[in-house]
């Protein structure tokens, strides 16, 4: 979802391909032929040349087109963006995934939700404390915001409370007002259900 939002926000031309991550299949066949890391997104940047990993794909997209969403290389803000991309990928994204659910997706039992909340809550609190402006990098929307929105969107899907996270709640609401986010939510449709049960 994060790369899809950034591609749409910048206004780049692109084609989407649906992938069944449980079966590792897409309309072209075996998704392993695109990437052996068959559970992560891939962006084809040239014929048979793919980038994988959400943070890397976001960094690449942010440098394309006339509406750059990344700061100049090696600037102070550039390194802050890289730190946030890494933090979102390693500390938040990975901790939202339940080790007890087949396929390792979002938790779907009361026990797995409680465990995931225990892991993500202090990390979300860290983001909350540092979210001082409208966007994660301050007053300017950047490549890190679509990735953070995936996390707040997962919070809503899992009915995790925003009570102690008012800045994140406001961020989530702001993101939902962006035309690119509204378009992506419309195109991607309803996510798979997150229900109790094995």
What CATH number should be reported for the domain holding residue 166?
A: 1.20.1050.10
Q: Smallest Cα–Cα separation from 167: which of 155, 159, 157, 178?
A: 155
Mean local confidence (pLDDT), 145-169: 97
Q: Is the pLDDT of residue 156 over 60?
A: yes
**Number of compact structural domains in the chain:** 2
Other C-beta atoms closer than 10 Å to the C-beta of 53 total 16
> Over the range 139-151, which residues count as b (16 or more CB within 10 Å of their CB) and which as e?
eebbbbbbbbbbb
Give the phi and the psi of residue 152 in degrees, each rounded to 5: -70, -30
**Rounded-to-integer distance, Cα 129 and Cα 37, Å:** 34
- Residue with the larger pLDDT of the pair 20 and 7: 7
pLDDT confidence of residue 65: 75
| Range(s) of the domain holding residue 54 | 2-62
Decide if 142 contacts 136 (C-beta within 8 A).
yes
pLDDT confidence of residue 90: 96
Residue 164 lies in a domain: yes
Does the reported pTM lie above 0.85? yes
| Same domain, residue pair 99 and 155 | yes
pLDDT confidence of residue 67: 72
Q: Is the pLDDT of residue 13 over 60?
A: yes
Beta pairing class for 42-46 and 29-30: unpaired
Residue 196 lies in a domain: no
Residue 150 lies in a domain: yes
Q: What digits encode the pLDDT tens for the residues 108-130? A: 888 899 999 999 999 999 999 99
| Same domain, residue pair 47 and 89 | no
State which of 20, 37, 62 marks the end of a domain: 62
| Same domain, residue pair 82 and 149 | yes
Q: Is the pLDDT of residue 158 over 90?
A: yes
Give the phi and the psi of residue 190 in degrees, each rounded to 5: -70, 130
| Same domain, residue pair 80 and 17 | no
Mean local confidence (pLDDT), 12-33: 92
| Same domain, residue pair 53 and 83 | no
| Same domain, residue pair 134 and 183 | yes
Q: What digits encode the pLDDT tens for the residues 45-99? A: 999 999 999 999 999 999 887 777 778 887 888 999 999 999 999 999 999 988 7
| Same domain, residue pair 17 and 95 | no
State which of 62, 87, 113 marks the end of a domain: 62
Residue 193 lies in a domain: no
| Same domain, residue pair 173 and 91 | yes
What CATH number should be reported for the domain holding residue 25?
A: 3.40.30.10
């Amino acid at each position: 979802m994060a790369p899809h939002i950034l591609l749409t926000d910048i206004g780049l031309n692109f084609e989407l391909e649906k992938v069944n991550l449980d079966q590792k299949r897409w309309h072209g066949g075996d998704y392993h032929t695109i990437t052996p890391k068959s559970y992560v997104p891939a962006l084809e940047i040239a014929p048979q040349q793919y980038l994988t990993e959400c943070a890397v794909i976001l960094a690449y997209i942010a440098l394309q087109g006339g509406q750059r969403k990344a700061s100049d290389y090696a600037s102070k803000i550039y390194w802050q963006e890289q730190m946030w991309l890494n933090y979102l990928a390693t500390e938040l994204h990975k901790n939202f995934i339940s080790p007890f659910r087949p396929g390792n997706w979002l938790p779907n039992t009361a026990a797995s939700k409680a465990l995931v909340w225990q892991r993500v809550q202090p990390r979300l609190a860290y983001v909350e404390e540092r979210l001082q402006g409208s966007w994660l990098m301050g007053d300017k929307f950047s490549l890190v915001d679509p990735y953070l929105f995936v996390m707040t969107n997962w919070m809503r899907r899992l009915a995790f409370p925003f009570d102690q996270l008012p800045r994140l709640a406001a961020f989530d609401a702001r993101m939902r007002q962006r035309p690119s986010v509204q378009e992506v939510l419309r195109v991607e449709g309803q996510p798979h259900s997150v229900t109790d049960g094995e």
